[in-house]
Structure 1
Amino acid sequence: MSNIRGRFAPTPSGLMHVGNAWAALLAWLQIRSQDGKFVLRMEDIDGPRCRPELAEQALADLRWLGLDWDEGPDTGGPHAPYTQSERISFYEEAIDKLNKSGLLYPCFCSRAELLAVASAPHGLSSEGPSYAGTCRHLTPEERQARQHSKAPSLRFKIDGGRSVIFEDGILGKQQSTPGAGGDFVVRRADGIISYQLAVVMDDAAMRITDVLRGADLLDSTPRQILLYEALGLPVPRFAHVPLLMGEDGKRLAKRHGDTSLSGLKAAGVKPERIVGWLAYLAGQVERYEPLAANELIRSFDPIRIPKEPITIHDGLMKQLFN
């Protein structure tokens, strides 16, 4: 039996759409083609944005698409729970460990101050505004004084000159300096754990060996690698697939029409049409034709996945309905 383990981890803050299906299908094929175990995890850590009914809908949509999983919130498994909101104690343990190692510090910067930085030239990346380290060097007395008026977030200290290098399974060798974006938040001022820390802890606990996800998260990878190392955890292999884009050059979304799986299903589109269409976009088949997900397993080859964003023009979308 293969030791390969992968996952798909949707956030139930909206309906599943073809962009989600694109990442889910390719992550599933990557693991199934290697006879590995596939995990479904629900990333609902941002409680105010997430809804249980959308989590249930996501599971139903993925099953309708023809995907299955060996472990998940509805099936259980040896590394349960598979829902982030039930894993808070694990994240707090990690924060305690990082704190004792001297790698965290409280940040009292207000949203307005951070937005001011964001509006400055070169202040933004896909990871958000660079942080200038304003609170990193506060004295204990200054921290205590500020704590009376504002609850702090917690930031992870980055060695500014440190370069992180990793081999991406689709994009090849990647090298970046995470410190260019400044120290990053691992727990917000409202107590919500950051995506960066939660995903590292979950993937390690669930023994994930391979992470395939959208290229919008490529900038997150160096920061996550730093967290893996700081916590003494094994680093998985990463592969980032290109995003599906509208003709306006923006990520495919509601503004480009109803691309939700439930909407397509209601319009009479069969799941095989969506799977075959996505397989064609991913270079896995030479021409578009309806296909079941399990028909793609034996021939799946990540080398054929495009490296650049894919523009979904009207003609491509119409293929789903013809």
Structure 2
Amino acid sequence: MPISSYTGRFAPSPSGPLHFGSLIAAMGSYLQARAQGGRWLVRIEDLDPPREVPGAADLILRTLDSYGLHWDGEVVYQSRRHPRYQQLLDELGIRGMTYHCDCSRARIQEAGGIYPGHCRSRDLSGAGHAIRLRMDQPVYEFDDRLLGRISVPIALAEEDFILKRRDGLFAYNLAVVIDDADSGITEVVRGADLIEPTVRQIALYRLLGYPEPGWLHLPLALQSDGRKLSKQNHAPPLSQQHIGQTLWQALAFLGQCPPAELAGASADIQLTWALQHWSMRSIPHRSSETTHASHS
């Protein structure tokens, strides 16, 4: 397989163990990278300590390993990159692209849920305030490699979103753009729940002068009530006893039509088959209820 300049990544948060929905995102990004002879990186998005579960980061890495999803290079931890985030936040501030905001969530909800720019001209300073981006060059749409042209609501695209929270924690949109750019990510493959923030991230790429990656948003695995499988919705952790069956179900969910006899095979055999047969065009466009059964 020829070596390419493609670099992909999987970036879980350590708020709990991986579940079937996580596996879809991990496998999709892994197979998309490996099928092109590219690199596949792993980043632990430990930006929000109150939401982290002790030991979850190590468990996530062990689970990826046991499922045959082996990454390249060293794992990046966002908690170790705060000086880098602050450096670029300061640069945006010097350029007049940010401002301080003391608006509460309740106030924003009263305004309809989208921040109305109340603090734009108030010239606040000091600790205890959020730092927002002046969204003077909004992005309203982008091209997704699977889903085509995606448009987002105008109000969302034009919102002055937060780059650093009032509690001092860096915001996801700032960190993910800096991390992906510094790692040379050429295509972001992730779940469709992150479609809307993409326009904010593209706007940041352009402000910071970074090359923009491609985008591919995968369908979400839904519970029977229509909610996505997630740690917040108490999705069961991935089985360590039925790895082959779970991988087979993930390949089927991604539209790859694995043969039935592959369900009993090892992770390495399944992933070898998947790489030989990987078809991005076969991935379903819509999220759907998963028939994945949890195993104890």
Same fold (TM over 0.5): yes
State which drifts further: 103-112 or 44-53: 44-53
Tell me if 1:192 matches 2:176. no
CA 1:254–1:104 in structure 2 vs 1: closer, same or farther (change >3 Å)? closer
Taking the aligned partners of 1:154 and 1:258, their CA distance within structure 2 comes to 34
Query: 1:66 — aligned with what?
Result: 68
| SS of the residue 1:41 aligns to | strand
Residue 258 of structure 1: CA displacement?
5.5
Residue 286 of structure 1: CA displacement?
5.5
Taking the aligned partners of 1:255 and 1:231, their CA distance within structure 2 comes to 33
Taking the aligned partners of 1:166 and 1:317, their CA distance within structure 2 comes to 32
Tell me if 1:95 matches 2:89. yes
Which structure 2 residues correspond to residues 217-232 of structure 1 after superposition, within 5 A?
217-232=194-209
Taking the aligned partners of 2:160 and 2:231, their CA distance within structure 1 comes to 33
Taking the aligned partners of 1:235 and 1:52, their CA distance within structure 2 comes to 34
Taking the aligned partners of 1:282 and 1:53, their CA distance within structure 2 comes to 29
| SS of the residue 1:24 aligns to | helix
| SS of the residue 1:239 aligns to | strand
Contact 1:7 1:39 in 2 (8 A): yes
Taking the aligned partners of 1:222 and 1:258, their CA distance within structure 2 comes to 28
Query: 2:141 — aligned with what?
Result: 165
Query: 1:273 — aligned with what?
Result: 245
What code does the residue aligned with 2:39 have?
A: K
Residue 72 of structure 1: CA displacement?
2.9
Taking the aligned partners of 2:11 and 2:23, their CA distance within structure 1 comes to 12
Which structure 2 residues correspond to residues 206-217 of structure 1 after superposition, within 5 A?
206-217=183-194
Pick from 113, 120, 136 the counterpart of residue 136 of structure 1.
Answer: 120
Taking the aligned partners of 1:104 and 1:41, their CA distance within structure 2 comes to 27
What code does the residue aligned with 2:228 have?
A: R
Structure 2 unaligned runs (5+)?
A: none
Query: 1:301 — aligned with what?
Result: 279
What code does the residue aligned with 1:131 have?
A: Y
Tell me if 1:242 matches 2:242. no
CA 1:159–1:258 in structure 2 vs 1: closer, same or farther (change >3 Å)? closer
CA RMSD of aligned residues (A): 2.1
Residue 113 of structure 1: CA displacement?
1.9
CA 1:317–1:165 in structure 2 vs 1: closer, same or farther (change >3 Å)? closer
Taking the aligned partners of 1:185 and 1:256, their CA distance within structure 2 comes to 25
Residue 169 of structure 1: CA displacement?
1.2
Taking the aligned partners of 2:117 and 2:21, their CA distance within structure 1 comes to 35
Taking the aligned partners of 1:102 and 1:87, their CA distance within structure 2 comes to 23
Percent of aligned pairs with the same amino acid:
35
Map Cα deviations across residues 188-226 of structure 1 (whole Å, 9 max, x no partner).
Answer: 011100000000000000000011000000001000000
Taking the aligned partners of 1:305 and 1:165, their CA distance within structure 2 comes to 22
Which structure 2 residues correspond to residues 3-152 of structure 1 after superposition, within 5 A?
3-73=5-75, 82-117=76-111, 123=112, 129-138=113-122, 140=123, 143=124, 151-152=128-129
Count, aligned residues: 286
State which drifts further: 222-231 or 285-294: 285-294
Query: 1:79 — aligned with what?
Result: none
What TM-score comes out, normalization by structure 1 length? Answer: 0.83
Larger RCO: Structure 1 or Structure 2 (Cα < 8 Å, ≥ 6 residues apart)? Answer: 2
